[in-house]
Amino acid sequence: MVVTSSARDYINRILQDISGMKVLILDSQTVGVVSVVYSQSELLQKEVFLVELVDSISKSSESMSHLKAIYFLRPTSENIQFLRRQLASPRFGEYHLFFSNILKDTQIHILADSDEQEVVQQVQEFYADFVAIDPYHFTFHVPSHYIYMLPAVVDPSTVQRFCDRVVDGLAAVFLALKRRPVIRYQRTSDIAKRIAQEASKLMYQEESGLFDFRRMEVSPLLLVIDRRDDPVTPLLNQWTYQAMVHELIGIEDNKVDLKSIGKFPNDQEEVVLSSEQDPFFKVNMYENFGDIGMNIKRMVDEFQQVSKSNQNIQTIEDMAKFVDNYPEYRKMHGNVTKHVTLVTEMSKIVDERKLMSVSQTEQELACNGGQGAAFEAVTNLLNNESVSDLDRLRLVMLYALRYEKDSPVQLMQLFNKLASRSAKYKPGLVQFLLKQAGVDKRMGDLFGNRDLMNIARNMARGLKGVENVYTQHQPLLFQIMESIVKGRLRDVDYPFVGNHYQQGRPQDVIIFIVGGTTYEESRSVALQNANNTGIRFILGGSSVLNSKRFLRDLEEAQRVARSSTTVV
């Protein structure tokens, strides 16, 4: 049960039964779904010779009746309208319609009404409605993502759209896995509760026939939690490969856009970082930065050896061998260049922004006590000229989250300092964060200082010492996973929806974070799965966060909240 392979199987099944030259038509969301699991050359093998977006295909009206059109769309009303117009004056010989989610009856009727020329061959629902970026990590790319922070009364229709997209996506994930889950949610979060309840309504009432798989095994668990219960993880600097690339440069659907940070040759402007296609990345994506440097050095050495052996071509045999190995060689060359470029760029950024010292303080704030020392460290960094505004803001936020109640005076000092130092960020953003995710709102024991057990464990860890100062932070998700494995997740904090309770230990757990996941959490899940505890975890989120994106959501939410209060 891996999300990437089930999405891949769907695409395979769509393409394999239809022979002849094909056009694949996608919408802006399914492009992401298909791109992360399928490649252009694989499409070509399946005789798909054109890939287009649904809105651009309807602009031209040139007839291409020698091609068969395969549509793979989300069943939204805009897409149905595009299709309706297209079917009224068809350009292609045959139409095969695949939808990534449950179609409404009225939508089928609209399509049937417009298909006067009977060009549609089939209408199917193939539930690949999630972007499977890693085997155990999927995302939905929900638009207007900030909305989850606001109460539903502010903008009911946007909240509704947000919930619908998430519920649809979750339904698709479980249909793809052919299971019906029991659902739990985080008690303190309204949006998590709402999503859990709507998902349950869909799976147990509205479409109960579709979700009835007659399996005798234990049902999997769907746990819906809120990002605001752990606001620390997206604010930290990361030091493991995948997470670090996302934090410093940015990963979008396993693609890294380097154009924003400098000038590169054409083929290196955008690179692909996919654990499925790149064996080096697959091995190293969770390694920390120092080890990556060593591993890359090893790879470069190997490559040098290969290229040296390619240089002295004397006999025909050498030549034949070279030509044989040439594609492999080229691939290796591209891969080596890619990773070397990424790591060099990142180490440049690390030096520039003094991330070593910044991150050390961040980790101290997130993991260890010692308020006085922390205050001093943060003040020093605020005074340091080479620390960027973004890092300053994050430091103050982390300090505020940690010592919100302990020392309001010092907190005020830091606020003032921040305001005088970096005018770029709007004032009140830290306060807004506290209002959203302050100590009163949070339920989980984020800093491990609420009950005695955790305090004791923290002290033990402090005595043992840590292997790496920069990667000592464990996300809250880790604790949640541990308590699921031990069967200790409290019913009071994470209640079930309806009367579908868990019987026995679940084998598959899908944790969905409303408000977005981070690659640090994805790593934590992958490591947990590698431990073989008998429970497999899959992580999903409404988007994949780095600190910039999290702060942008925060800013946007603050702006909307403000404007709505002034209107009222």
Partner 1 sequence: MATRNRTVEFRKHRDAVKSVRAPLSSSASASSTGPVIEMVSLLPSNRSSYAPLSTEDPSTSRDAFTVGLPPSWVDDSEEIATAIQRARVKISELTKAHSKALMPSFGDDKEDQRLIETLTQEITSLLRKSEVRLKRLSAASGSSEDSNVRKNVQRSLATDLQNLSMDLRRKQSAYLKRLQQQKEGYDGVDLEMNFNGSKFGSHDDEFSDVGFSEEQMTKLKKSEQFSVEREREIEQVVKSVHELAQIMKDLSVLVIDQGTIVDRIDYNIQSVSTSVEDGLEQLQKAERTQKKGGMIMCATSLVIMCFIMLVLLILKEILL
Judged by CB under 8 A, the chain residues 63 through 92 that form the site for partner 1 are: 63-67, 90
DSSP secondary structure code for residue 450 in this structure: S
463-522: contacts with partner 1 (CB under 8 A): none
Q: Alpha-carbon distance 269 to 264, whole Å?
A: 6
| 328 is a contact residue toward partner 1 (CB under 8 A) | no
The only residue of 109, 405, 486, 559 in contact with partner 1, by rule CB under 8 A? 109
Q: C-alpha 290: how far from its chain's center?
A: 25
Count Cα neighbours of 161 within 13 Å in the Cβ-side half-sphere.
Answer: 12
Contact 127, 172 (CB under 8 A): yes
Q: What angle do CA 222, 224, 229 make, to 5 degrees?
A: 145
Total residues contacting partner 1 by CB under 8 A comes to 82
Contact 542, 549 (CB under 8 A): no
Contact 371, 406 (CB under 8 A): yes
| 44 is a contact residue toward partner 1 (CB under 8 A) | yes
Nearer to partner 1 (CB atom), residue 67 or residue 437: 67
145-204: contacts with partner 1 (CB under 8 A): 175-176, 178
283-302: contacts with partner 1 (CB under 8 A): none
Q: Alpha-carbon distance 321 to 313, whole Å?
A: 9
| 307 is a contact residue toward partner 1 (CB under 8 A) | no
Stretch that binds partner 1, among 98-106, 143-151, 397-405, 484-492 (CB under 8 A): 98-106
233-262: contacts with partner 1 (CB under 8 A): 253, 255
| 120 is a contact residue toward partner 1 (CB under 8 A) | yes
Burial track 168-178 (b if 16+ CB lie within 10 A, e otherwise): bbbbbbbbbbe
Stretch that binds partner 1, among 149-157, 293-301, 330-338, 504-512 (CB under 8 A): 330-338
Q: C-alpha 305: how far from its chain's center?
A: 38
Q: Alpha-carbon distance 455 to 80, whole Å?
A: 56
Q: Which of 481, 477, 478, 476 lies closest to 450 in space, CA to CA?
A: 476
**Least distance (Å) between residue 96 CB and partner 1:** 10
Q: Alpha-carbon distance 398 to 358, whole Å?
A: 12
The only residue of 206, 217, 267, 451 in contact with partner 1, by rule CB under 8 A? 267
534-563: contacts with partner 1 (CB under 8 A): none
Phi-psi region of 510 (alpha: psi -120 to 50; beta: other; left: phi over 0): beta
| 277 is a contact residue toward partner 1 (CB under 8 A) | yes
Residue 112's identity, in one-letter code, is A
| 143 is a contact residue toward partner 1 (CB under 8 A) | no
The only residue of 71, 72, 82, 127 in contact with partner 1, by rule CB under 8 A? 127
**Least distance (Å) between residue 559 CB and partner 1:** 29
| 344 is a contact residue toward partner 1 (CB under 8 A) | no
Stretch that binds partner 1, among 97-105, 341-349, 386-394, 537-545 (CB under 8 A): 97-105
| 386 is a contact residue toward partner 1 (CB under 8 A) | no
| 330 is a contact residue toward partner 1 (CB under 8 A) | yes
Stretch that binds partner 1, among 305-313, 317-325, 407-415, 456-464 (CB under 8 A): 317-325
Q: Which of 126, 67, 113 lies closest to 87 in space, CA to CA?
A: 113
**Least distance (Å) between residue 546 CB and partner 1:** 20
Q: Which of 531, 532, 533, 556 lies closest to 543 in space, CA to CA?
A: 556
The only residue of 153, 216, 316, 530 in contact with partner 1, by rule CB under 8 A? 316
